[in-house]
Amino acid sequence: MPPKSLPTGVEIHSGMLRIWFMYKGARFRESLSAPPTPKNIRLAAEKRTSVCHAVRTGTFDYIEWFPESKNALKFSKPKQREITLNQLCSLWLELKRIEVTPATMKNYEQRLKQVRLYLDGNGLVTDITQASLLDLRKAFLESCSASTTNTYMRTVKGLIGFAIDNEYCEQRVLNGLKELKQDKTKPNPLSQSEFSRIIGSCLNDQDRNFWQVAVYTGLRHGELLALAWEDIDLEAGTITVKRNLTLEGIFKLPKTRSGERVISLLNPAIDALKQQQLLTFMYPAIEIDVLQREHGKLMPFFIRPVFSPRVTATRETKAYYFHTSIHDKWTAVCRRSKVTYRRPYQTRHTYACWMLSAGANPTFIANQMGHSSAKEIYQTYGDWVSEHTQDQLDILNTKYGKNAPYMPLKLNK
C-alpha cells in the first residue's frame, strides 16, 4: 500500500506514479510507468528533484529525460538532415523555377554558381556557419559593389532560409547577417542641350524617333522594344503598355499589374510616332508568344512592331530589336555627340526629372511610369521635387495671393 502522503511533486495516476514540475512557466506531468511501492516513490522523488535542478541550471533537455513523452516533441531539436551544398542548390532552384521568370531564374543560377566558388559545393550544409557566410560576404565585397554584394547575399539568405525550414541547418547561421550600407544612386538625367545633341547625332530617322519617344514617355526599353502599332492610338494620344521584351529575348507581361497601364502622350512623343508611322506602320504583322503570369503559359499574338531593324537592314533580320542593339546604338550616339556616357536607362530618369521640373504631379508621373504609387517617385527623385518648392509657391501665390476668400470678422457682443 502506498503511504498516505507523497513527496512534493509525486502523484499517483491510473495506478502508476507520475511526477510534475515547472518548465518554461508551465506545469508538466510525466508518468514513470511504475507502481507506487515505497522504493519507487523514493526514486520518483529523487528523479523529480534532479529534473527541477536541471531546469534551474538551464541544462534540462526534455527528450533526454523523457524520450517517450509527447511533450518532448515541443522542445526537442530534431536531428538535422544531411545534404551537400550542391544538392541544396539544385533542390532550391528546381522548386523556385515554377514561381519566378526565366530571367530571374538565370540570375539565381549565376549567383549560386559564384557562391560555390567560395563555399565547398560538396561540403555538408550542416558545416556552414555564420562565420562562413560573413567570409562569403567579405569575398564578394572585395570584387563587387555593396549593392551587388547585397543582391548576392539576399539570394544566399533565401537558400539558407529554405535549408533552415527543412531542418538542414540551424537558424543561428543567419543571425547577424545584415545588409551592407550603400550610397543611394542618384538619377543622372540628360539636360535639354544634351538631348538635342543626342537627337542631332542619330544616323537615321528611326533612331531619332526611338530616343525621342523614350525620353518623352519614360517607357522602359523592354516596353519600347515590344511596342506595337496595335497598342497606340494617336487620335486619343495614348499608348497601352501590354508587354515587355526581356534581356533574353522573351516577350512577357509587365512585371506588375501597375505596369499594365495607359500612357498619355506628350506632343513630342506624338510627333515622333507620326514620323515612325511612315517607316513601319505598313509592315506585315508577326506572330509572337507572350509569357503569362501563370507558370509556363504562353499566349500567341500578332503584332506590328513600332521599331524594327528591317528599316535599315541590308539582309534578312528579325522584325524587332533586342536590348543589345539598343545598348550599342546608345553607346555610339553618346560617342558621336560628345555627351557624357550614362546607362541608356537614364532616358527613363530624364522623363521623370523633366516632368517634375515642369511642375507635374508626382502621382501622375508614377501612373505614367508604371509605379504602384508616388512613393517611389519621392524616393528616387526627391531632390527634383524639393528643388521646385519655390516654383510651386509662386504658382499658388499667383492663383490665391490676391484673391483670398473673404472671412467676416466676428463681432463681440
Catalytic site positions: 220, 255, 348, 371, 381
DSSP per-residue codes, 181-234 = P-PPPPP-PPPHHHHHHHHHT-SSHHHHHHHHHHHHH---HHHHHT-BGGGEET
What span, in angstroms and rounded, lies between the C-alpha atoms of 99 and 109? Answer: 14
Helix, strand, coil tally for the chain in percent (to 5)? 50, 10, 40
What span, in angstroms and rounded, lies between the C-alpha atoms of 253 and 241? Answer: 9
Closest CA to 222 of 362, 324, 295, 116: 324
Q: Which residue has the cell 515590344?
A: 226
**Which runs of consecutive H residues, i.e. helices, occur in 238-372?**
267-280, 323-337, 346-357, 362-369
**Which runs of consecutive H residues, i.e. helices, occur in 29-178?**
38-57, 62-65, 72-75, 85-96, 102-118, 130-143, 146-165
What span, in angstroms and rounded, lies between the C-alpha atoms of 209 and 101? Answer: 31
User: Measuring CA to CA, how many Å separate 207 from each of 12, 279, 360?
Assistant: 91, 11, 28
- Nearby residues of 296 by Cβ (< 8 Å), 6 or more positions away: 98
Contact 10, 41 (CB under 8 A): yes
C-alpha cell at 56: 534551474
Residue 114: helix, strand or coil by DSSP?
A: helix
Contact 214, 347 (CB under 8 A): yes
Which helix (H) or strand (E) segment is 302 a member of?
A: strand 298-303
Closest CA to 84 of 139, 121, 54: 121
User: Measuring CA to CA, how many Å separate 124 from each of 87, 105, 121, 297?
Assistant: 9, 24, 8, 37
